[in-house]
Structure formats: structure tokens, C-alpha cells
Structure 1
Amino acid sequence: MGDEENVFELIGEIYDAALDLTLWSDVVGKAGHFVGGAAAAIFSKNPIAGTGNVYYESGIDPYYRELYFEKYVKLDPATTGHYFADIGQPIAMADLMPHDEFLETQFYREWAKPQGLVDFVSAVLDKSVTSAALFGVFRHERDGTVDGEARRRMRLIVPHIRRAVLVGRLIDLKSAEAATFADTLDGLSVGICLVDAAGRIVHANAACHVMLDAGDLFSTSGGRIVARDAEIDQTLQQLFAAASDGDVAVGTQGIALPLIGRDGARCVAHVLPLTSGARRRTGVAYTATVALFIRKVALETPSPPEVIARTYRLTPTELRVLLAIVEVGGVPEVAVALGVAETTIKTHLGRLFVKTGAVRQADLVKIVAGYASPLIG
């Protein structure tokens, strides 16, 4: 019961951080300890450019954080795997490569080992064509490698972190006071609607009124907001009612619900409960149980590396070696660049030949070139 109470309290704090971004560092630290790690972060990585950024962190040495993005993000054997992981699914180093092979890497020897780190469990929160945003927890030697319990705990909190992060991108309310909340909402381009447990609208900002008037994605019926898509509407009505019972009752639904207009325009909707924690003040002021966020999204096509990986069913490590062969050169050079033994590269190269049908490294270069975008600029 103690553990259950802890997770309920943590989830409430996660959602509070959606409306007050200054809370995130503390929340990330508590989430990391809950999973069973020494440090944690919400960050992004671009596997193609070898760049990234940390948004919120706890327990990370600033020296090693800067060193990571200056040098080791490109050497991190998990970078490619993180990008191609399914959204919301916990992954550890063992899911990407054998642990013994990981211990051979330059990345482990020079960056992880000096800090006493032995593993890392993460989950993708969101993706674009070029990068992925993740929540990750570092495991110290005293924590041991990632086990089933750590994965279970990640699954408990990641959906809630994802919802809070996505909502936090849309709105930054340092203080959700009743006197200023409506004015703040009305100044946003994102459609925001506050509703009660029955789905009745108690406040909608200007952008949301435009959407309601158009009737393309939503309409009103008896003062209730109704989604044009019947399945989406059923999910929303269930979430509106569930929110009265607190944050955990909302569960994992209502995160990035897909909406498609009659003209093909795409939007996503997010549901944030307002009945617990610091958010309760906002909900009480408007007799609302939920804030519904709606934003337009651009249609993105998969990146060439992602298409290649799917086409030939490559593992993250195989894709990493393939891209390195194209960018760096032969086996010796790739081994140095990735910080592993030449025999390891030869093993992955052999698998690449089998999966792609190539017989020479030059053939692999041609395959990658064939997936490059023909558009310039």
C-alpha cells in the first residue's frame, strides 16, 4: 500500500508540473528514484546529427552532461535505438546490444564507467522526423542492471509523464490563478476547453471557439462538447467522467488522440485532469474536471534511416553500423569511431550483408544513397 500511495502522489506531482514547469526538476528526480536509479532526465536526441538537449534533470553531473553532448552522443550505442524505440515502451541497454558488448565500447569506458553507471532505462515520449524526446533513468553500480521491477515502474509513470510533457509544451502557466487563467488561455493559439464530468463546456478559449464554430472536429450538443469521430468521442466522455476520481483514474488514454478533419487536416487532443494537486484550484474556479487541449499537427514522413531500418528489419545496432560505414568508411575506421572491437563490426557487417543482399560495402553505400531525399534545399 505504501508503494501504491507513493505512485499516486508522484502522478499528481507530474501533472502539476504540466502547469508549472518550474516543478519538473524535482518531479524528474522523484520519478528516477521511484524507478530505482541514481539520476534521471527528460531530454531529446537527434541520431542523424548527433546532437541533443536536456530539458529537465536531477542527479546528473554538469561536467558529464556537457561532455555527453559535445562528444559522446555520437558514440553512445543506444542513440539510434532510442530514436527507433516504440513510444512509451521501456528499453534498457540489454534490449539494444549484449551487455558484454556494451562494456567494450568507448562510450562505456570513458563516459559511463567513471560515473559508476552500469545501465540506462528510458522510454520515448514523442518523436519527430529527426529527433526523439525521452524520459530516462540512469542505474548506478549499487542499483544493478535494469530488471523487471524497474521496467514495471517505468510503465506505471511514463504515460503520465508523456501527457504532462506534451501539455506543458502547449501552455506554460507559472501560476494557474482564477483571476488570470481565462485571459492566459484566450491568448493561446492552441484550442483549450475546460469541461465538467458530464462533458459540459464551462470555459473555452478563442481558438477552441473557432474550432467549435467550424464543426469539423468538434461540435456542441446541449452545452456538451462532442467529437465528430464517434470512437474518439466515446473515449473523451469516459475520460471526462473518470477525471472526477483523480489523476490515476484517467489512466493512459487521452494522450495524443488523433483527429482528422473533413479536409484532411490533422490535429491531436490531450486530456489533463484538474481535480487533484495544485491543479484543483483551477478546476474549482471553473467547476471543471478536465482541460482538453487541441492542436494542429503537420504530416511528417519517416526519415530515410527509419525507412531503411523497417525495410530490411535492421536492429538499432545494425543500422548504426550501416550509417557509420557510409559516413566513416571501412571496418577499422568504424570500429574506432564507435569505440568497439573490429570483430564486433565484422559480425554486424555480416548480418547486414545477409539482410540487405549486399555483397560488398560499396553495395551498402548504394542502398543508403537510394533512400536519400531527391529534394535539395
Structure 2
Amino acid sequence: MSELSLQQYNAYVDTIYAAATVPDSWKHFLELVSDAFLGARVALHGHDLATGHTLGALSHGYDPDYIAVYEKEYSAINPWTGGYAKGPIGRVQLTEDLIDAASLKKTRFYDEWIRPQGDIGTGVGITICRDSSKRMRLSCNVSFRNGDRLRTEMVQTLTALAPHLRRSFEIGRRLQGRALGMGFEPALDKISSAVFLVDAHMRIRYANRAAETMLSRQDCATSIDKRLVFLDKDANRRFGRSIHAATKPDYSAFEGQIKLRNAGGDIMMEISVVPLVRTVSNSDNVFEWMDDTRASVMVCVQQTGPSPKRRQVKFTNRYGLTATEALLAEELLRGSTLKLVAQERGVSIHTVRNQLKVIFEKTGTSQQSQLVALLAKG
């Protein structure tokens, strides 16, 4: 873990997963990050991609008056915002990757919002989730004088936490922000994803309606001696490893997001495994009845669509894309970037851009966000 000790790492991850079912825990997570980096200003903030305006923020270290005026006025002129959409999900970006310091200091945003708060014009950020219209991001800003000595450690920390942040946010989205206390069943039954609460031995302690339906179909999962078993053998092995890792006080070995195919192989699903963490402030937590909350997990299974190959065939049939164009469309839909595609294929970015232009013509779109939105609709 480099500069990040195992004790610190576990504290971060405990809080992140607690926030999946107790959203107020995000406040404690921001406090931990701020304290670790000399009182850094830390924020979880959403943005509307069409207007550039904020969708609200949860922050620590900022003056509340500055947050209020940011949401009202300065979010629309934030020079970092344009760069947020270019970075892939889950990858740490330096503020200097979004706009260089010299250019930043020439902006009204710097003069009126950054400099008065202690010249907090450098730091790191990471896009946690994004769809065709909005995104959620974690930003950690420090003063220019502290940037050089803190930047490397901030990158290492957020890189290590990135998969856990994405997983917790995804579960939180499926729970629709509900904090699960006693009488949790109605909340979980309204969720379209299959949700299981499983103990350290993979025994099912609770299954919502969607999960019961999944078990009754027996096309991707079943129950053997009350244990949850996935029929995809590779996915089931990875699931078992995740359950085992979740029982140990070492999240560095935890594998919590697993691809799954149904028995026919034509439907793609994703298993999200989230450790259930006891929180001091939530004394009536539903998970109190479990023998060992540290060893217990929430398992969510959600259909993500047809298999990538099947989806590419659909792109070809519907829009007349070539195999190469359909593959590019698929990669963009999964959140990749033109630069990453070019690197992985060993071709120039100019070649990939030309392919994208052809895709635009065939699909009747003119922007990448429009294309992704169209493809996501099926």
C-alpha cells in the first residue's frame, strides 16, 4: 500500500462501505481524508453535464459560505469542470491535468473563489460514476505550497480507494439513498436488483423479491444447503474469495465486483459484494442480528445487458457499423476514452477519431455523449 498503512486503509474502506447503507457516513469519510492531508478541502460533488452546474455537494474543510456561493454562481465558471468529462471513471486526475496552474491563475474563479480560501488551487480528483447526463466526483484540494509534498500520497490513496468508492456508490444508487434500519424489507423489495444478505459461510440470511425470483429461475444462481451458489463457475470462485476476504481485517485482498453470465451465456450481469459495517450512530441497524457484522456482506446482482459480442452485433445490424466501429462503440459505452482505445489497439488517436466520425454519421449523432446515450437505450 506504499505510504498508506493497512490500518488507515481499513479505516477508509470501513467508512466507505458503511456509507452504502448509512449515507451519513460519507461525512466521516471526508473528515478522514481531510485530516490525512493537512486539512485538505474535500468534496463529493455532482455535476450536470449539459449545463455545467452543480447538482449539490457534501464537503469538509470549506467555508459553508463559499460552498453556497459556489453552487449558486461559481460552478458555472469552474475551469476544472471541462476536464472532468474527459477522464475515465475511477482514474485519479491531477488538477494540473485539467488546466495548468498559470492558466488557472488568470481566471475569475481563481481570484474570487480559490485564492481567498488559502490558495487551494492544486490537488487531485476522481470521477466515481457518470452517465449520459451527470457525474459524481471526489475532489481533494490543498494549497500550492503544500501540493508538491502531498500530491503523490493523495494519488496513491485515491487510486487504492477508487474501486471501493465506485462499489459503494453503486449500491447506494440501488438502495436509492435509504438508510437500512429495522424493518428494512420493504425498502429492499422495491429494488429491481437481486439483493442477498449473506454470512461468512455464504449462507443466505435474507433475499429480497428480485433475489427470490432469481433463485426460482435457477439460470444463474441457486441455493445449496442455504448457501448462495452461482452457476458460472469462475464467478462463483471469485465470489467465494470475496466472501473469505471480507471476513479478514484486510480489505487489500477484497474482490467485490464480479462479472457473471447466465446459463445461456447471452445475458451479462454483475455481482457487487459489499461488507456490512456496524456503525456507532446506527444502533438500530438491521445488521445487528447477524452474529458477526464484519464477516457479513450484502450481495447485489444486476443485469448489465446482453453480452458485449451480442451488443456489438446489434450495433452492426441496427446502424450498419463495421466490426471495428461496433467494438469502438462498445468500448465508449463502457466508459473508455479515445486515447485509451488508441493505446490498447496500437493505433493513432487520429485513426480512432476518424472511426468515431463515421459512427456519428451512421447513428445520426454529433457528440460522444449523444452517442453513448443512444447506445445505452439499446
Instruction: Please give the TM-score of this superposition, normalised by the length of structure 1.
Output: 0.71
Residue 378 of structure 2 is aligned to residue 371 of structure 1: no
Choose from 177, 181, 206 the match for 1:176.
181
Corresponding residue SS for 2:256: coil
* Displacement of 1:131: 2.4
Residue 129 of structure 2 is aligned to residue 126 of structure 1: yes
* Displacement of 1:195: 1.6
Amino acid at match of 1:310: L
Unaligned runs of 5+ in 2: 312-328, 343-348, 355-360
Corresponding residue SS for 2:105: helix
Which of 305-314 and 15-24 deviates more?
Answer: 305-314
Choose from 108, 114, 117 the match for 1:115.
117
* Displacement of 1:249: 5.0
Corresponding residue SS for 1:49: coil
Identical columns (%): 22
Query: What corresponds to 2:272 in structure 1?
Result: 270
Shift in CA distance, 309/245, structure 1 to aligned 2, threshold 3 Å = closer
* Aligned pairs for 1:1-377 within 5 A: 4-116=6-118, 117-141=120-144, 143-145=146-148, 147-171=151-175, 172-174=177-179, 176-177=181-182, 180-182=183-185, 184-246=187-249, 248=251, 251=254, 253-255=255-257, 257-261=258-262, 262=264, 264-274=266-276, 277=279, 282-283=286-287, 285-287=289-291, 289-297=296-304, 310=338, 371-372=366-367
Shift in CA distance, 127/187, structure 1 to aligned 2, threshold 3 Å = closer
Alignment root-mean-square deviation, CA: 4.0
Shift in CA distance, 48/101, structure 1 to aligned 2, threshold 3 Å = same
Query: What corresponds to 1:320 in structure 2?
Result: none
* Displacement of 1:10: 3.2
Corresponding residue SS for 1:147: helix
Amino acid at match of 1:293: C
Q: Higher relative CO (CA 8 A, sep ≥ 6), structure 1 or 2?
A: 1
* Displacement of 1:309: 6.9
Q: Is the CA contact 2:15–2:28 (under 8 Å) kept in the aligned structure 1?
A: no
Question: Take 2:26 and 2:65, find their aligned partners in 1: how far apart are those partners?
Answer: 21
Question: Take 1:78 and 1:176, find their aligned partners in 2: how far apart are those partners?
Answer: 39
Which of 87-96 and 235-244 deviates more?
Answer: 87-96
Corresponding residue SS for 1:272: strand
* Displacement of 1:304: 9.9
Which of 258-267 and 52-61 deviates more?
Answer: 258-267
Question: Take 1:310 and 1:109, find their aligned partners in 2: how far apart are those partners?
Answer: 34
Tell which structure's C-alpha radius of gyration is larger. Answer: 1
Q: Is the CA contact 1:87–1:125 (under 8 Å) kept in the aligned structure 2?
A: yes
Amino acid at match of 1:30: L
Equivalenced residues, count: 324
Corresponding residue SS for 2:24: helix
Corresponding residue SS for 2:168: helix
Q: Is the CA contact 1:122–1:135 (under 8 Å) kept in the aligned structure 2?
A: yes
Question: Take 2:123 and 2:186, find their aligned partners in 1: how far apart are those partners?
Answer: 42
Cα deviations by residue, 1:134-192 (Å, 9 ceiling, x for unpaired): 11112134533552112112223333333222222222453534xx3445434543321
Question: Take 2:199 and 2:52, find their aligned partners in 1: how far apart are those partners?
Answer: 45
Instruction: Please give the TM-score of this superposition, normalised by the length of structure 2.
Output: 0.70
Question: Take 2:126 and 2:154, find their aligned partners in 1: how far apart are those partners?
Answer: 12
Unaligned runs of 5+ in 1: 315-351, 358-365
Q: Is the CA contact 1:12–1:277 (under 8 Å) kept in the aligned structure 2?
A: no
